[in-house]
Structures are given as structure tokens and as C-alpha cells.
Structure 1
């Protein structure tokens, strides 16, 4: 696995509670009392959420506990076990979004209530971000980051970094301190742990930003709705009267004043979609809407987080990912256009209107003319639920249909950089996995293997 890691030990961070904890038997403590800051009182309620940062520090003496399958003699950079204010999602962030290092970043967390520590978990590399030439990328706020990890209600954390030697030998050094440790192992600057409390969903949000997000879907549901209702639509262009207002002519059709039935591609029935208001988005933290020209390709993702969540927790998970993408990664909004949970519920992602061609930050180099759909969970070794696969199929049948797309077809996108050189014309299946557009394992082998089923289901829903 590839993880991105970085360090700048003296970097300032937001205040966070940090009390040393006794570790479970057999786990070595690796911090002196001098490295521990005073606790910050927990305030309740914390609405609409919060992000707290802790810089990774040299461990003195170095942690003598090697990770499984690691040839290293120990870990010299990380965070000793400590108590923190309650959080539910975490990730590691650094300064330069273009910088990456082969290595491993591992975390352990302590559950609220039981006090039980989790096993060590690897943080996956975050391969999603805005395209290089986009206004979002040029804003100067972007940072490098791992994928966020949902851990549930937690109040303790420990981190260890397992860097590789510059020569690629995999051997690790021990004993360096501060920036020297980072320099010796080639780690980027600014390595820190971000702890995210997603907060509670607000009962109401009457701000102009919230109203703007509502109005972007006004053709589909009344302003202030928590869900866009399902709509049974015709699956052929013979009766366009019941179609959504956002129907699009097919790509090959010459533009006319009003699209006729003959120019409209088949569209699948519109599924029910929970709006941003429905999952409790804090609209005050996002940037303005950003659109692309059309939607030719749907890229399927997984969030690389735990599968051990209840579907009632899905809104909180999305709020956590949203806050992490904006506050930690420096993006204008959450990266994905849609989320799907394991119970098959669909959620609006990036703001701007679910029927519109909103530009996301989901597939580096190919965010233009595409949409990103993220299934909550990790599907490297776990099969996605039938409910999730069916929901993705319904969403794609409708979303691609609005823009003239055939789920069993192909389309050409122009690379903005990344896996393919900038300007390269690349032909994709209209339903592709994240790995097809970028060097990543996303959406996991088990979900990727379901893309054929999703294509067939979506085409059938379109009446093809």
C-alpha cells in the first residue's frame, strides 16, 4: 500500500486535548511528559462540527514496536497514545498536495464508552483532488492528505509513521529528531493529524448559502426539502412530458431551440436522493458552485473507510468527509458528486444541483465532463451490498441519461494531467472505476468487479 507522509514538527496547530494514556499490555509508550500539552475542556454541543490538528512529533525514545510485515527497527515519528476531545473521523495532512512518499501511516483509536483500543489501521493514500489547471487547484489552499478514516466516537489516538529509506531498501532509521528525521527519510513538510468531529445535523439553516444549495435543486423538489423524491420516468424518448426539466439532448445532436422527443436519450427513473440539507451540510464552509459542460463518464469510488457503520450514521460520515475535504484538504467543497451507503440510500455530494454537470474533485485529471459516485466503505476484500450496487445502477441510469449517456457505451475525455499526460485523449467506459483514471486501487477489487453488473443494470433501467 502507498501512503503519503510529511513532516514539519514545529508547525502551529489548533488547540487539542492531549493527555498521555496507559497503553494496552504489550504496546510500548514512546513519549516523554514534556511533549504533552494541557487538555482543552470538551464543550457540548459542538455544532456544526470541528477540526483539531496535532503535529506529528519525534518519539523520544523511538518506539521500539515495529509494525507487522515491516523490516524496520522501530518508529521515530508519530504521536504517542493520548486522550483528545471526542472525534469520529481522522486523516493525516501535509503542506504540498503534489508531494508524496512511499511508506505507511498507521493509527489506533480508543472508543468512547468502552475504552477499547482498535487494532493498528493503515491510512490509504488520497488520490482524489482538483484537476491541475482548475480554478480550485490554483487557489493556493490545497494540501496533501491521506484518505479520511471513519473510526466512530473516539477519545484517544496514537499514530506511527513507517517511512522508507530514499534508496528504496525499506529499512528505517531510528534516533533522528525533529526536521532531521523528516529530511533523512525524505518526508514532505507539515505532517499533522487532523481529528474531525462531524457535529450534529442542524435543525434548520436559513443562511444564503443554504438557500442557494436548495435552489440549485428547485426544479426537482421544493426549496428546503431534505430529500428529492423518486420519479418514475419514461425509459424512452417517446413521451418526454414526465421527464426532468434538466434533460439534455444527446451529444451528437445538433443544437436546437427546444429538444424534441427524437433528440432525447433514454433516461432511467430518477431515484430518491437525500439533499445536502438532509444530511446536515454546514453550507457556510463551502465555496461557490463550479460547473463543467456535460457528464460523459461516471467514475465509481469507495471512501476507503470502515464498513462497520450503521446506515443511520451515514449522514455523520458524509459531514465528516465534507469537513475534511474543505478544512483539511483545502478544497472548495466535498469532492464527490454523490454518496451511496451500504443500505442503498443515495446522497447529494458537491453542491450545485444533482441534475446539473457539477465539477467535482474525485478523479485527478478527469474531473471535467464526469461525475463521481462514492460508496461509503472499503471494498478491497469486502463485497459491496446488493443494495449499494443497485442504488449506484439507478443513479447512473438517471444521471448519464440526462446527458445522453449509454451506461454500456464509451466516451472520450481529455486528461488534465496525472496518470495520463495533460491533453491526452482517453477513451473510457461511461461507467468506470477511479483506478481507470488515476493510479489508485479505488474503488477496491470487489466493487470494481461489480462495474459490469452496474452497467447492465443501468442500461436496462434506461430501456436499452
Structure 2
């Protein structure tokens, strides 16, 4: 029988745990780029690529206009996976970043197929496939590092290679939490979660040239919270999770695709807990409303300079043209707000 701890008990255990041992050397994370124009194009406008080394996560990158439709599948010993649709990520090419799709956790494989089109015309030859091997490392236990903070697996504990972090922290003011999902797949084991975070970090920081992982926190389907953007827990730091609304927000991403799958109770509880704590540090009520000023973004619902009223916990789709955090994830926002409000009240001095 699994014993489930309430948030206050878990916090007490985490805060009274022995100090962490010195962090081990992070696993080596590598990535390979494969130009799809060199791959064979089949009759159904599919390109198949094979990597000389195995990988666990893929993304697609391009220059110029984004494809309207992108689908990926991979092959394992049991055959081909289902096709998975990937949305473009709204990047900032004028700042030297790379345009690309959402990442997809594939599990161990070395072969992928890609379909991409724009206006009904195949454009897979314009894309590059990024294949990432995050290495493996033992799962680290989450712990609390600040008063009232829910237990979190820190960057050193999940194996962040800080030499890849080239985006100096930029201060902001936390007015709201933006809730996301990483999309891709729910077909992962929670002991792989740190590997997934390392792979997303490599994709965001190195391959998309953001200089760091975009989210401030990530929550897996077992409810484990992972620290994201450097300094984003300790301080109010700009992230890279909702272009046009990165200033003034704290980005939390549920690891998985929650378009058709309902987030687990553990995930909802942990998203509520980290949101309640972070908003509480800024004296912002979890059930309140705020106003954010839209910045420039190709994928935004709002023009630059618009004053946008929002709940203090909102979904990515509220500000951007995206399905994120998925329909089923979006339907949990009321529960997340209610639970975060209760946690703020219970932890009030």
C-alpha cells in the first residue's frame, strides 16, 4: 500500500531532512541534428531518418515561416508508435533564437518519421530533426529549500549542466502563474522524469538557443516538482514559456499531453502547491485577478502594449494561439486555483 502524505507533512519531512550530499557530475547530454532534405521522401510525403546514436527526445527546427502541420512517430522493437502532432513554439528569431516545434519524449529509439506541410504542400525538406540523448541518472529526492516551499528536485539534483546556461537572470515582478503542458506524450515512467527535464533543458537552452530551460518549474505525472529557470524559485526572474507574457509571470508546466488525458491528482496538487507558494512570496492571491501588458509575439492573442486582465493562475492558451495546457489540463485550472487558495489560507501566519 502506498502512503500518501499531505502537503504540510511532506514539507515537514523535507525541511527536516539531512543536508544533501554534494551533487554528482551531471550525466552527459548530447544532441544530433539531421537535415530532412537528405532523407528519402515517400509517396505519402513522409521522411524517415535514422540516427547513428540512440536518442530519447526529438524536436524539429526550421528557418522562416513555420509549418502548419507537423507529425512525428518513432520505431522501437514493437513497431511504429502512433503519429504525434507537434505545435510550433513561438520563439524570437530577431534575438538570435532558433524556430522550432514542441519537443517529444520518444523513449529509446534511433529511427523517426516526420510529416510536415504548409498550405497542403510538403515542407519536410525545410526541417532539421534534433535528436537528444539525455543520459541516465538515479532519481533524486525532492526537498524544500525555502520556508513553506513544497519539496522540489533542484537543478543540481536533476543533473543540469550549468555550462549550457547562457541566459543571465533578468528580474521581473511575479503577478501571475501561467500553466502549461510539455505536450508530446504521457508514455513515460516517473523514474525517467529527470532525464526528460535534462532533454528539454538541452533543447531549449542549446538547440533553440534560449540559453536556459523556459519553464520556472515542471511537474511530472507522479507530482514531483523540478526546478527550471535559473533563479526562478528564489527570485522573480523572466522565463521563456509564454512569449509576450514572460514578464510578470511564473511558468509551471505539467509533463505530458493533457489534451485528452486528465492530469493526475498528484500533478494537480503539486501545480497548486508551487503556484500557491510562489504567488504567496509576492503577496498575490491565488484566486485573484491581475493585469499584464502584452509584449511582441507572433502567436499572441493581443497586440503589443495591450493591457490584458487575467486570473492570477491562467492557462497558456489564454494569451497565445496554442492548445497548451491541453483541453483536459485547462479544465483543471479551477481546481488548481481553489486548492492553491486553500493552501495559501492554511499557510497564512
TM-score (norm 2): 0.84
- Offset of residue 328 of structure 1: 1.6
Aligned to 2:196, what secondary structure does the other structure show?
helix
Distance 1:386 1:287 in 2: 35
- Offset of residue 364 of structure 1: 1.1
Distance 2:86 2:245 in 1: 21
Residue pairs, 1:296-335, within 5 angstroms: 296-335=175-214
- Offset of residue 108 of structure 1: 2.4
- Offset of residue 83 of structure 1: 5.2
Aligned to 1:372, what secondary structure does the other structure show?
strand
- Offset of residue 158 of structure 1: 2.3
**Residue of structure 2 in register with 1:53 after alignment:** 33
Aligned to 2:110, what secondary structure does the other structure show?
strand
- Offset of residue 200 of structure 1: 3.2
**Residue of structure 1 in register with 2:55 after alignment:** 87
CA contact (8 A) 1:107 1:157 kept: yes
Residue of structure 2 aligned with 1:198, choices 118, 131, 134:
134
Aligned to 1:274, what secondary structure does the other structure show?
coil
- Offset of residue 190 of structure 1: 5.0
Deviations 1:410-440 (A, max 9, x none): 1111110232111111011000000011110
Deviations 1:103-134 (A, max 9, x none): x22222122xxx222334234113354xx6xx
Structure 1: 5+ residue stretches without partners: 1-45, 65-73, 174-181, 204-224, 232-243, 245-268
CA contact (8 A) 1:95 1:144 kept: yes
CA contact (8 A) 2:154 2:226 kept: yes
**Residue of structure 1 in register with 2:42 after alignment:** 63
Distance 2:50 2:28 in 1: 25
- Offset of residue 227 of structure 1: 4.4
- Offset of residue 53 of structure 1: 0.8
Of Structure 1 and Structure 2, the greater helix share is in 2
Distance 2:145 2:173 in 1: 23
**In the alignment, does 2:83 pair up with 1:121?**
yes
**In the alignment, does 2:72 pair up with 1:107?**
yes
Larger radius of gyration: 1
Residue of structure 2 aligned with 1:396, choices 254, 265, 275:
275
- Offset of residue 226 of structure 1: 7.1
Distance 2:179 2:66 in 1: 24
Deviations 1:273-322 (A, max 9, x none): 11001111111111143233311010000000211111110000000000
Distance 1:450 1:416 in 2: 27
Residue of structure 1 aligned with 2:331, choices 432, 449, 455:
449
Distance 2:187 2:60 in 1: 21
Distance 2:115 2:89 in 1: 21
Aligned to 1:393, what secondary structure does the other structure show?
helix
- Offset of residue 164 of structure 1: 3.7
- Offset of residue 81 of structure 1: 5.1
**Residue of structure 2 in register with 1:29 after alignment:** none
CA contact (8 A) 2:73 2:84 kept: no
**In the alignment, does 2:315 pair up with 1:433?**
yes
Classify 1:353/1:362 alpha carbon distance in 2 versus 1 (closer, same or farther; 3 Å).
closer
Residue pairs, 1:59-458, within 5 angstroms: 62-64=41-43, 74-75=44-45, 78-80=46-48, 82=50, 84-96=52-64, 99-102=65-68, 104-111=69-76, 115-129=77-91, 139-140=95-96, 142-161=97-116, 163-165=117-119, 170=120, 172=121, 182=123, 190-201=126-137, 227-229=142-144, 244=147, 269-418=148-297, 419=300, 420-458=302-340
Instruction: Give the root-mean-square deviation of aligned CA atoms.
Output: 2.4
Aligned to 2:88, what secondary structure does the other structure show?
coil
Structure 2: 5+ residue stretches without partners: 1-25
Aligned to 1:54, what secondary structure does the other structure show?
strand
Aligned to 2:341, what secondary structure does the other structure show?
helix
Of Structure 1 and Structure 2, the greater strand share is in 2
TM-score (norm 1): 0.64
Distance 2:330 2:95 in 1: 33
Distance 2:160 2:223 in 1: 20
Distance 1:318 1:128 in 2: 20
**Residue of structure 1 in register with 2:341 after alignment:** 459
Classify 1:395/1:157 alpha carbon distance in 2 versus 1 (closer, same or farther; 3 Å).
same
